[in-house]
Structure 1
Amino acid sequence: MTSDALPIFIVDDDEGIRRSVSFLLKTSGYSVQTFSGGLEFLKVAASLDTGCVLLDVRMPDIDGLAVQRRLHEEGIMLPVIIMTGHGDIDMAVTAMRAGAIDFIEKPFGKATLIASLDRAKAQAQTSLTVITQREHALSRLNILTDRERDVLRGLVAGLPNKTIAYDLGISPRTVEIHRSNLMLKLNVRSLSEVLRIAFQAGVS
């Protein structure tokens, strides 16, 4: 394990995911513990001093959102990264509203995972206040047009492009253009980065 790497706790009912992600992280220098479900993880969560939780959003015993909520209720402030399958974006949005650092869509590559963990590490070590983060995020959003802000609010609500287009009375293609433009202005490459800025700024 590298000297500054966070311990990683993988919580997923899929044994294949646990094994593959664990192998990937261990070969990258991380200390890893795996859990086959949310309840198993919650039994030991209070005893964990530091680390990052890679949390599957859909599990049979208790879903990732409920695990995240329990951690918050018990004052366990471990950074959480949501692992989501296709079609679970609305749940990922809800998780980020509740404080998750990021979400990554399965299947994901090593670079995506490590980048997400780097953000978790940065948050765990940062000395920035929530107010400072909010002010910085607001300053970034100030460059958006009113229509781009409308599209952003639709994305924050977890709506697909077609629904955003219907609500705004424009075509899905126009929504795609506005979405592309706002991502370009914000200098981001993924939806999770857009959402992180929006949530820091208090967009709802």
Structure 2
Amino acid sequence: MTRATTVFLIDDQESVRHSLGELLSVFGFAIETFASADEFLGAPDRGRIGVVVADVRMPGTDGIALVRELARRGVRLPVVLISGHADVAMAVAAIKAGADDFIEKPVDDAALVAAINRALARTVEEFAAQRSSDTLAARFARLTPRQIEIFDLVVEGYTSHAIAAKLAISVRTVESYRAEIMDKMEAESVAVLVRQAIRLGRLAP
């Protein structure tokens, strides 16, 4: 965690924004405060990276509605909701809406920082997984239609001789295609190719 990590603090009470802002600043977070969810949603999106900490009960768009609106817009910011009037039903609704965590007021310092760090860790993991999937998809996109045809047969367990007979081409041609496929997919073995096919949704696990 570094100062590059921003906490977008949303609460209609100035005293809460001030106290939580000071607290989180001590832990090294950069702070941006907003008096309402609508103010936050209306602010220019400068490629925001960080965590949203928002009150549940606010005039206008409330915290749970904020979570839903961010999801609708495709904004992948984790949200930690806080509330002074929490109950089980509200907490369940918040998590179902997509909030990363739910904390009751008065906010425990350690609990809030831990929730923010958990949210950040999950976001980093999801980003890494998405980046890995994008990379794999980009490799697959480099395959020609014939290479894709042979890729599918290889991962289904067909031997080079069986593929040659099925496609009416020579075994040497099949082996050449296989080598090109392995190179483009950066797969060092057929086992790796099979795992890639599963991740790409071309083979049932």
State whether residues 64 and 94 of structure 2, in contact with CA within 8 Å, keep that contact through their aligned partners in structure 1: yes
Name 2:160's counterpart in structure 1. none
Q: Distance in 1 between matches of 2:32 and 2:41?
A: 13
Name 1:126's counterpart in structure 2. 125
Name 1:27's counterpart in structure 2. 26
Gaps of 5+ in 1: 131-204
State whether residues 11 and 36 of structure 1, in contact with CA within 8 Å, keep that contact through their aligned partners in structure 2: yes
Name 1:115's counterpart in structure 2. 114
Cα 1:93–1:30 shift into 2, 3 Å: same
List per-residue Cα deviations over 1:47-68 (Å, max 9, x = no partner): 3431100011000122111111
1:46 paired to 2:56: no
- Using the TM superposition, give the Cα deviation of residue 5 of structure 1 relative to its aligned residue in structure 2, in angstroms: 5.7
* Aligned positions of 1:97-112 closer than 5 A: 97-112=96-111
1:71 paired to 2:51: no
Q: Distance in 1 between matches of 2:87 and 2:10?
A: 17
Q: Distance in 2 between matches of 1:93 and 1:4?
A: 32
List per-residue Cα deviations over 1:73-131 (Å, max 9, x = no partner): 1110100001111344422211111211101100012111111011011111115869x
Secondary structure, aligned partner of 2:43:
helix
Greater mean alpha carbon deviation, residues 79-88 or residues 69-78: 79-88
Secondary structure, aligned partner of 1:53:
strand
Give the alignment's TM-score, normalised by structure 1: 0.58
Name 2:82's counterpart in structure 1. 83
Gaps of 5+ in 2: 131-205
State whether residues 86 and 104 of structure 2, in contact with CA within 8 Å, keep that contact through their aligned partners in structure 1: no
- Using the TM superposition, give the Cα deviation of residue 33 of structure 1 relative to its aligned residue in structure 2, in angstroms: 0.4
| Paired residue type of 2:111 | T
Cα 1:5–1:109 shift into 2, 3 Å: farther
Name 1:141's counterpart in structure 2. none
Q: Distance in 1 between matches of 2:96 and 2:39?
A: 24
* Aligned positions of 1:1-204 closer than 5 A: 3=2, 6-44=5-43, 46-127=45-126
State whether residues 36 and 58 of structure 2, in contact with CA within 8 Å, keep that contact through their aligned partners in structure 1: yes
- Using the TM superposition, give the Cα deviation of residue 28 of structure 1 relative to its aligned residue in structure 2, in angstroms: 1.3
State whether residues 46 and 76 of structure 1, in contact with CA within 8 Å, keep that contact through their aligned partners in structure 2: no
Give the alignment's TM-score, normalised by structure 2: 0.58
Which one has the largest radius of gyration? Answer: 2
